[in-house]
Amino acid sequence: MSNVIFQKTGGNMEDYLTSFRSLLDRLEFPYQRGDSVGIKLHWGEIGNTSFLPPHYAREIANRLQEHGVKPFVFDTTVLYSGGRRTGKDSLKTAEEHGFTQDFLGCPVVIGDGLDGHDVVDVEAGFRHFETAQVTSLVDKADGFFIFSHFKGHLAAGFGGAIKNISMGFASRAQKQRMHSDAHPVLNRKKCTKCGICVDSCPTGAATFADDEYPEYDLEKCIGCAQCIALCPAYALKVFWNTDATIFQEKLVETAAAVWNRIGSKTLLINALVKITAECDCMPGDNPGIAADLGFIGGYHPVTVDREAIKLVGADTFNQAHPNIPWQRQFDYAGEIGFTEPILK
């Protein structure tokens, strides 16, 4: 069994799906007949145009069903306002983006429940987190298929399988714990005083007096980065209270805690298509930063992400996010033993 499998793609959507099916053919499935398997993906923030269409998820669901497995598609609720903050809104967004039971042939659910309370604490035992609070699906499902859109990310530098398992499985509280070192900082020269950051702030931390520049109360700020993501003038940047590396480490710790629970029954695919500077949480069109390459399948999140970085090129992410020490994710994963065992 190879650690990682790359399937090149190109052409039109049907060619992409042909490549995707070829990759599915080459993966060894760890599931048993009758297993319930959660397909974890991101169905895109409302207004986002770079999320991956539901056709890939349908291919995964079909293939799982051929293996006698019962698939379902899921994502979790997020901290910021928009189309995915509550379970109900998120399901509506999923539907609008084509992720319906009719199309996929399997149910679509919210991993942390419609009210965000369907979560469990899993053991972590690392420097930042003793435990991590994540979707209770880690206990309820028999297996997982992690399907990640590989692209840039404003706080993590890049987003792939590690982030999908970490932030993507995390409860809202755990998401907040990971983000708590980050706050917005304003570049007044760019700010147009439009007020969008104030209107979108979920905690009231961003305020605005008539004709003044917005201000951010760091006592109330939960570091969700909503304001940064939505600012149309790119006037806000992440300010790290401590060190930007801490966020990378927290991200990795949460992913490792989840992986310890699900690793033996999980497959992963990173899609290296529509590679944008920012993640699918951003509304609107995000700039592309690399050509479409194909799909990477594998059996460990650190391995598939490392391979994806190698194929896209580290410089691409360094240029898109020059101040983010994303390399720390790989170094720290090694330090805490979150790596794939060497195959004999």
Taking the least distance from each CB to ligand SF4, the nearer of 3 and 180 is: 180
Taking the complex as a whole, the smallest distance from the CB of residue 209 to ligand SF4 amounts, in Å, to 12
Closest CA relative to residue 259, chosen from 171, 331, 338: 338
Taking the least distance from each CB to ligand SF4, the nearer of 138 and 178 is: 178
Taking the complex as a whole, the smallest distance from the CB of residue 263 to ligand SF4 amounts, in Å, to 32
Which residue's structure tokens are 């003793």?
130
DSSP one-letter code for 38 = E
Side-by-side strand order, sheet with 108-110: 4-8, 294-298, 266-272, 143-149, 36-40, 70-75, 108-110
Taking the least distance from each CB to ligand SF4, the nearer of 128 and 193 is: 193
Taking the complex as a whole, the smallest distance from the CB of residue 215 to ligand SF4 amounts, in Å, to 9
Taking the complex as a whole, the smallest distance from the CB of residue 213 to ligand SF4 amounts, in Å, to 7
Taking the least distance from each CB to ligand SF4, the nearer of 68 and 195 is: 195
| Binding interface with ligand SF4 (CB under 6 A) | 183-184, 186, 191-197, 201, 203, 205-206, 214, 216, 221-227, 231, 233, 235-236
Taking the complex as a whole, the smallest distance from the CB of residue 202 to ligand SF4 amounts, in Å, to 6
Amino acid identity for residue 102 in this structure: D
The two tokens of residue 54 are: 């539901």
Taking the complex as a whole, the smallest distance from the CB of residue 41 to ligand SF4 amounts, in Å, to 24
Taking the complex as a whole, the smallest distance from the CB of residue 196 to ligand SF4 amounts, in Å, to 4
Taking the complex as a whole, the smallest distance from the CB of residue 180 to ligand SF4 amounts, in Å, to 10
DSSP one-letter code for 296 = E
Closest CA relative to residue 111, chosen from 82, 140, 89, 83: 140
Contact present, 132 and 34 (Cβ < 8 Å):
no
Q: Which residues pair with 40 in a beta bridge?
A: 74, 146
Taking the least distance from each CB to ligand SF4, the nearer of 46 and 233 is: 233
Taking the complex as a whole, the smallest distance from the CB of residue 216 to ligand SF4 amounts, in Å, to 5
Element (H, E) at 24: helix 13-26
Contact present, 52 and 148 (Cβ < 8 Å):
no
Amino acid identity for residue 103 in this structure: F
Residues 6+ apart with CB under 8 A from 74: 38, 39, 40, 108, 109, 110, 111, 135, 137
Taking the least distance from each CB to ligand SF4, the nearer of 122 and 201 is: 201
Taking the least distance from each CB to ligand SF4, the nearer of 2 and 192 is: 192
What CA–CA distance (Å, rounded) separates 217 from 332? 31
**Residue environment code for 104-122, b if the CB has 16+ CB neighbours within 10 A, otherwise e:** bebebbbbbbeebebbbeb
Taking the least distance from each CB to ligand SF4, the nearer of 120 and 191 is: 191
Taking the least distance from each CB to ligand SF4, the nearer of 45 and 59 is: 45
Contact present, 161 and 270 (Cβ < 8 Å):
yes
Contact present, 22 and 297 (Cβ < 8 Å):
no
